[in-house]
């Protein structure tokens, strides 16, 4: 994983649930597909996104 992607993932972990939702929307809607990101980078970003979704589900379950 590249250093910039690793830093982004660390920063994402510090975001609130609402901020993570906003970030996912922005990534999907505004980020053009680029050859600059490797398959490994995309996999890491996807993993972080799924981890965030899992955390959100766990929070909802614990608050219900």
Instruction: Give me the pLDDT at residue 25, please.
Output: 82
Instruction: Give me the pLDDT at residue 64, please.
Output: 63
pLDDT, tens digit, 9 for 90 and up, residues 2-59: 888 888 888 888 988 888 888 888 877 776 666 677 788 888 888 888 888 888 888 7
Cβ-count burial of 21 within 10 angstroms (0-12 exposed, 13-18 middle, 19+ buried)? middle
For the record, the structure tokens of 35 come out as 């050859």
Q: What is the DSSP letter of 36?
A: T
CA 44, 27, 3, 9 dihedral sign is negative
**Residue ranges of the domains in the chain?**
3-63
């Amino acid at each position: 994983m590249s250093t910039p992607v690793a830093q982004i993932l660390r920063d994402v972990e510090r975001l609130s649930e609402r901020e993570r939702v906003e970030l996912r929307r922005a990534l999907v809607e505004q980020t053009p597909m680029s050859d600059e990101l490797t398959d490994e980078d995309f996999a890491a970003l996807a993993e972080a996104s799924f981890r965030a979704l899992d955390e959100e589900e766990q929070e909802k379950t614990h608050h219900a």
